[in-house]
Amino acid sequence: MKKLTVIGLLMFAVLFLYRPDVLAADKNYQTVFGTDKTAQGKFTTTKQNFTVENYWDVSNANVKLVYTITQLSEKEVSTMTLKINDVAFYSFKPDKADKGTKQIEIEIPKDKLKKGVNVLSIESFVYTDLPDGRCTIDDTPANWLQFDKTSAVNVSYSDKAFQKTIAEFGERFTGIDTVKSEQGAVAVSNKAGDAELGAALEGLSGFSAANMLEDKNIAFGQYEEAKTRDGKNYLVLFSSYDNLPNDLKSQIKDDNKLEKQALFQVVTVGNTNTLVVTSKSNDALKKAGKLIANQNYLSQLGTNTKWLTTDEKIDTPATSVDKNTKLTTTGDKLKGIGHITQDYFISMPANRSASTGTEVSLDFRYAQNLDFEHSLVTILVNGKPIGSQKLTAKKANGDKLTFQIPSDLNVKGDFSVTVAFDLVLTNNYCGFIADSEIPWAYITPESKINLNTSEETDLLFEQYPYPFIANGDFNNAVVVVPDKLTTEDTDSLANIFNLLGRFHDGNRGDLTAVHAANWKKPKEGSNIIAVGTMKNNPVIKNANDDLYFQYNKTGEYFLSNEKISIEKNYGKQLGSVQLITSDGVPILAVTGPGTKQTELGSDLIATKANLAKIYGDGAIVDTDNTIHSYRFKKAADTKEESFGSKISNNKEVTVFGAFALLSVVILVVAVLLILRKYRRSRK
């Protein structure tokens, strides 16, 4: 009897303690603010975006606010209200008696979260009083609130069951948690030929384009190396059928179709999910790399396998740099008293400049309870104003403006457009108003920027990745690599193609990989990326005389040049990136005396943040991350935009010119008729 009792108690304990939801321990993803956010004014709105992946099963979420508020705040009136996706969920009054930095943690309602990007808004009403107890009339520097960069949104979740489809694999592979924890990698066999390597690098750039984390790259390596596979939950393996590992090859059926087609198949071995991309055809493998580069197409593959023929239509739509771009697709509502702003990011190739005729057109409406003598809207480009317009009661329900971007701003590459409203209330002496009376402005989806650009073709890092990528596509790019790739070599390729992917939004261009033994000579129109040392890369060896940082005869160290003196031992420790022309073709040389130094040089072009640290056409970096960059090639004479180009890009001038020409024609005809009539009267 005692034995039965003990067994019963044990069974009860097991049943009570065993909870699958607990065993599947929650993961946590933290999105930090990253930068200090300062709110200035009586009523302000501070926003922070964070992402909830589609495959997350969220258990809870909270926000940790670390803030400092003006010492002059009036506790009984000043408030903060938190909203998630425009739905209020928490309000409180900050306590000015608690000096210095304060911290508060608040739970976010789980049912108000959505898949994808969520917006946390913090609406702050900061009311200050004067020494004599009177309230302030206007916003002053004393109306401030600062959120520390360590403030963060934390999301606890568990992964939903993996359905092992290609689409879901792609979604998880580029998920923010996968990338941040370095659980994914693109791999090739250590026997990979040119076609396999080229397809893998194009695929890597395609995945990088979908990577939302600017400071984290996707790993690339050889499948046989433990470093490539260890700790990885998701692998993408590009391989010819003959080079596939046996444990993966055994799971592929109907391999006869691989003679002319490529196969995508999700295979699970242990804890690792591998997307196998394989074929016996080099053309089919190249096509497979292009499919990965079309992330929208990849997201449609809701099956475990996909057979790809070489004639299947997978090209991304053609795009134009010169175009009309919406500032917002859904509309943006701004709310507040005083100065409130909305920022928009406009993407433009680094080698293009905004030319005459580029204009911002704003379609908007606003509250009717404003002091229209003092309320206005201002458009700024890269923080510099290009025009302002007063708000009026007559146009409150529908207003428009158009401002051209002045040529003296020299807008080049990606830039920002800021819409700033100054919303002033009439007789708002102390700012005591109901929430419904707080003024607002709304920017409609009809707002747009008409982008006209001119191309600049100098080989400079300020314009990189041109010419290797042009208008969002690979531009006859050829990457030349050593025959035997080391870990440092594949890390260098990872750096280069992760950054190229950030500028890559299509798959219509051409990318080719060539191992050193297969290299002959550059084809006309090609743009070469040479990775390696003078000893293992023939492109670098043949171009040594054209390098700005040249090697000694044996390629053991960099030599001094007209810009910098380099001591011999120091020259052995340097990595370099150089944009040169050799044999009539542009070359990006990513090089160093050894493979470690080559990787050191590639770090300079691994992220946008690193790229911003260099300029000109040649840069070196040492092991202490000391960077020296220079412009060696003299700048060409600045070309003024042609008169014809200015006319064609400026609609107002074109219309005025046509009207003037028509007026002249009418005037000439009138004069001729008068002369004719005069001659007849004399007869």
pLDDT tens-place string over residues 8-17: 544 444 444 4
Q: Residue 132 above 80 pLDDT?
A: no
**pLDDT (tens digit, 9 = 90+) per residue, 519-577?**
998 889 999 999 999 999 999 999 999 999 999 999 999 999 999 999 999 999 999 99
- Point out the least confidently predicted range of 211-220, 338-347, 648-657: 648-657
Would 17 be classed as within a structural domain?
A: no
Helix (H) or strand (E) holding 390: strand 384-390
Q: Which conformational region is residue 382 in: left (phi greater than 0), alpha (psi within -120 to 50 degrees), or beta?
A: left
Give me the pLDDT at residue 13, please.
45
Question: In total, how many domains does the chain have?
Answer: 5
Does one domain contain both 232 and 139? no
Statement to judge: residues 438 and 505 lie in one domain: no
Category of 60 on φ-ψ map: left (φ > 0), alpha (ψ -120 to 50) or beta: beta
Q: Which residue has the tokens 């005729």?
A: 357
Closest CA to 79 of 92, 65, 63: 92
pTM metric for this prediction: 0.86
* Tens-digit pLDDT profile for residues 606-641: 999 999 999 999 999 999 999 999 999 986 544 444
Confidence category of residue 254, pLDDT binned at 50, 70, 90: confident
pLDDT for res 659: 61
Query: What mean pLDDT is predicted for residues 412-431?
Result: 84
Cα of 512 vs its chain's centroid, Å = 25
Please tell me the distance from the alpha carbon of residue 339 to that of residue 421, in angstroms, as a whole number: 6
Do residues 221 and 276 both lie within one domain?
yes
pLDDT of 260:
95
Would residue 248 count as lying in a domain? yes
* The pLDDT of residue 480: 99
Both 470 and 609 in one domain: the answer is yes
The answer as to whether 481 is a domain residue is yes
Say if residue 603 is in the same domain as residue 532.
Answer: yes
pLDDT-derived band of residue 360, with 50, 70 and 90 as boundaries? Answer: very high
Please indicate, yes or no, if residue 149 is contained in any of the structural domains. yes
Q: Three-state SS for 453?
A: strand
**pLDDT tens-place string over residues 289-329:** 999 999 999 999 999 999 999 999 999 998 877 788 999 99
pLDDT band of residue 199 (cuts 50, 70, 90) is: very high
> Which residues are CB-neighbours of 668 under 8 A, at least 6 positions away?
none
Q: Looking at residue 640, what is its pLDDT?
A: 46
In the structure, what pLDDT confidence band is assigned to residue 432 with cuts at 50, 70 and 90? low
Work out the pLDDT band at 100, boundaries 50, 70, 90: confident
Residue type, 369: N
Which pLDDT score is estimated for 425?
A: 85
Do 495 and 588 reside in the same domain of the chain? Answer: yes
Mean pLDDT of 51-77: 84
Q: What's residue 679's pLDDT?
A: 62
Domain identity same for 335 and 391 = yes
Average per-residue pLDDT for the chain: 88
Residue 593 structural domain: 461-630
Identify the residue with better confidence: 669 or 339: 339
pLDDT, position 128: 60
pLDDT of residue 375: 96
